[in-house]
Amino acid sequence: MAPYSIPYPFMPDLDQLEKMNQDLTK
């Protein structure tokens, strides 16, 4: 249910994206 799969209109920092992904997977 995370809208991280879709291509963001503004490419976010990979580091930040990874961090958010980790937070969600946690």
Cβ–Cβ < 8 Å for 21, 4: yes
CA distance 26 to 16: 15
In tens, the pLDDT along 1-26 reads: 566 666 656 566 777 778 877 887 76
Cβ–Cβ < 8 Å for 25, 1: no
The predicted structure's pLDDT at residue 25: 75
The predicted structure's pLDDT at residue 18: 83
